[in-house]
Structure 1
Amino acid sequence: MTTLGCVLMAASINCFFLQHHFLSGGLAGLSMILYYLFQWPAGTTSFLMNIPLFFLAYRYIGKLFCFDSLVGSLIFSVVLDGTSFLQSLVYVDDPLLSCLAGGVMEGLGCALVYRAETSTGGIDILGFMTKKYYNISVSTTNFIYSLFLMAVAVFFFGLEPVLYSTVIFFLAFKATNFFMLGFDYKKTVLIISSQSDAIGQRIMSEVNRGITILHGEGGYSHAPQDIILVVVKLTQLAHLNTIIKEVDPMAFVTVQDTNDVFGRGFTAPNVEGTLPPEWAAKKAQAEAQEATHKEN
C-alpha cells in the first residue's frame, strides 16, 4: 500500500505539477523548486534533504518512527525519479484541470501511505518534534513551512503558479482526510425529550451505542430536563433519527460533526499524545523489548 501511495503521489507531480511549475507540499515542494531552477532530480534531492531529519527522528522521536519514515521517503524518491518519463507521455494544457486532478491524486496517495502506518518523512518529522518539545501542533509547523515555500516560489516564478499550488494544498488535504475516513465519519447528537428513557433504551438496544444522560434545566420554565448525548457513525444516523421520530416527534435534536472519537467502542486513545496511535504503539513495544533485552 505504501508503494501504491508513493506511485500516485509521484504520478501527480510528474503528470500534472512539473509542467506548470506547481508545487507539492513538504520537502518535495522544495526539491521541485530546485528542479525548476537547476534541473536537479526531484526525488534524489528530496531524499538527500531528508537525511538530516532522519538522524533527528532517530534521536528524539524513536527508532521505529525513523525507520518507517526512511522506508517511505526512499520509496517515494525512487518512484518520483523513476516515473519522470510520464512528463513526456501526459500533458494537460489547462492548468486548472492539472491542479484539480493532481491535488486529488496526491491526496489519495497520501491517504494510502498513512493507512499503511508509514510516512514519507520531511516536514512531518519536524512537526512531531515541535509537538513533542514545544507543544506546537504538527499542522502549525506545516503551515509555517508552507508560507516559507510560497514566499520562495513567488520570488522565482511569480504569483500565478503559487495560487494554483495553494489550491492543490487545499485539495490534497481534503482528499487525504476523505480517503482516510471514507464514510466512517462520526456525529455527536444531543437529544432533549420528555421521553429520554424510552429513546435511550432503543438507542442502546437497536443502534448498539452507549449514551450519557446530562441533567439540564429549561431556560424559561426552569424545569429539570434530561439530555441524551450519543456519538454514532454516519451510517447509524438515519436509524437514530427514525427512533427519535417514532418515540417523540417533538424532541429537540442537534447533530454536530466529530473529527476524532477515542474510547470504548471507537478508537483507542493516543496516550503519549505526540505520535499517531499506530506509531506510538510500535514505539512502546520496541522500548519494552529493549528493556527486556537489557534485563537479560
Structure 2
Amino acid sequence: MDDVQKVLRRHQYIAKASTAFMYGIMVSIAMNFFWTPGNIYSSGFTGLAQLINTLSSRYLPFTISASWGLLLFNIPLLVLAWKQIGHQFALFTLLTVFLASFMIKALHPVYLTHDPMICAIFGGVVNGFGTGLSLKNEISTGGLDILGIVIRRKTGKSIGNINIMFNVFIVSAAGFAYGWPFAFYSAIGIVVNAKAIDFAYTRQQRMQVLIVTNRPKRVVDSIQNHMRRGVTIIHGAEGAYRHDVKTILFTTISRYEMAELEEAIDESDPKAFASVTEADTILGHFYEHKLK
C-alpha cells in the first residue's frame, strides 16, 4: 500500500511540475507575442511587473524587466504561503513563478500584430487558460492567488473587491502609460483572461444535482465512495407516468467532479434520472479540498 501511495505521489509531483512548465510557456507567449507588442497590461502581479518595467524604463537610469519584477514581487507572498498554506504548495508556487519569469526573459518578443484588440483578446485567452490549468492541478501562479487563499482560510471571505481594485489600478496605469484607448483594451484583456480561467478551472464552479432513482441506498453509497459529498434524501416521491414510488436525492458538487458523479450513477443505477444545474450561491459549509 505504501508503494502505491509513493507512486501516486510521484505521479502528482510530475504532473504539477509539468503544469508549472506549461504555464511558464503560456504566460511568456501571452507577454511576448501579444501584451508587449500591443501595449496591453495583464491583471494581478503580472500587470504590476509590466507597469514597473514601463516606469523604470522611462524615469530611472536602469530598467526592471517584467520577468525580474514578477519574481521579486512574489517573494514576500511565497514566504506567506510557506507559513500559512503549506510547504508543498509554496515550493510548487515558487517553481511556477520562477519558470514563468525565466520563460518571459528567455522568449524574445515576436511581433505577430500590433492591433491592441487582437493582442488583448489572444493574450487573455492564452494566459487565462494557463492559469486555469495550473489551478486545476492545485498549483498557484503566485500573486493575489496566495493572498486570496490565506484570507479565505482566516476569515471565510473572498478578496473579490481587492482583486477588482487592484485591476482598476492596473487599467488606469495603462491609460496613463499608453493612452486611455489602451486602458480599455487592457480591461477587455483582463475580462477575457478571467473567462478563460473559468473555462479551464472548474473546481470553483458549484453544481446542484437532483437524482430520481429506485435504488437510493446504492446510489448514495456510490456517490460517497467516489467523492466527499453529503446527500439529502426525499422518500415517497411518485412518478407521474407509471405512478411508481421513487426517491429523490439532492447534492451539490463542483463542476470538476462531474465525471466522478456520472461514474457513480452509472455504477449504482444506470436507469436513474439526473438533472444538473449551476448554483449561483452556496450558503453553509461546502467541503473544499485543502491545499498542502
Shorter-chain TM-score tier: 0.5 to 0.7
The alignment status of 1:29 with 2:47, answered yes or no, reads: yes
SS in 1 for 2:128: helix
8 Å CA contact 1:31, 1:43 repeated in 2? yes
Equivalent of 1:101, from 122, 132, 139?
A: 122
Q: CA deviation at 1:35?
A: 2.0
SS in 1 for 2:213: helix
Matches within 5 A, 1:267-278: 269-270=287-288, 277=289
Are the structure 2 counterparts of residues 154 and 136 from structure 1 closer, same or farther at C-alpha, using a change threshold of 3 Å? farther
Structure 2: runs of 5 or more not aligned: 1-18, 58-62, 225-230, 237-245
Matches within 5 A, 1:1-296: 1-37=19-55, 38=57, 39-83=63-107, 85=108, 87=109, 89-181=110-202, 187-190=207-210, 199-201=212-214, 212-214=232-234, 228-231=248-251, 233=258, 256-258=277-279, 269-270=287-288, 277=289, 279=291, 282=292
8 Å CA contact 1:188, 1:255 repeated in 2? yes
8 Å CA contact 2:35, 2:120 repeated in 1? yes
Decide which moves more: 89-98 or 105-114.
89-98
Q: Distance in 2 between matches of 1:159 and 1:148?
A: 13
* TM-score of the two chains, using structure 2 as the length reference: 0.67
8 Å CA contact 1:213, 1:228 repeated in 2? yes
Which deviations, in whole Å up to 9, do the C-alpha atoms of 1:86-125 show, x marking residues without a partner? x2x3321332222221111111111232233222222222
Alignment RMSD, CA only? 4.0
Structure 1: runs of 5 or more not aligned: 192-198, 217-225, 245-252, 262-267, 271-276, 283-296
8 Å CA contact 2:44, 2:143 repeated in 1? yes
SS in 1 for 2:214: helix
Are the structure 2 counterparts of residues 188 and 19 from structure 1 closer, same or farther at C-alpha, using a change threshold of 3 Å? same
Residue identity matched to 1:145: F
Q: Distance in 2 between matches of 1:135 and 1:185?
A: 17
8 Å CA contact 2:67, 2:101 repeated in 1? yes
Q: CA deviation at 1:132?
A: 3.3
SS in 2 for 1:256: strand
Q: Distance in 2 between matches of 1:82 and 1:72?
A: 15
Number of equivalences: 242
Are the structure 2 counterparts of residues 48 and 255 from structure 1 closer, same or farther at C-alpha, using a change threshold of 3 Å? closer
Are the structure 2 counterparts of residues 120 and 214 from structure 1 closer, same or farther at C-alpha, using a change threshold of 3 Å? same
8 Å CA contact 2:40, 2:116 repeated in 1? no
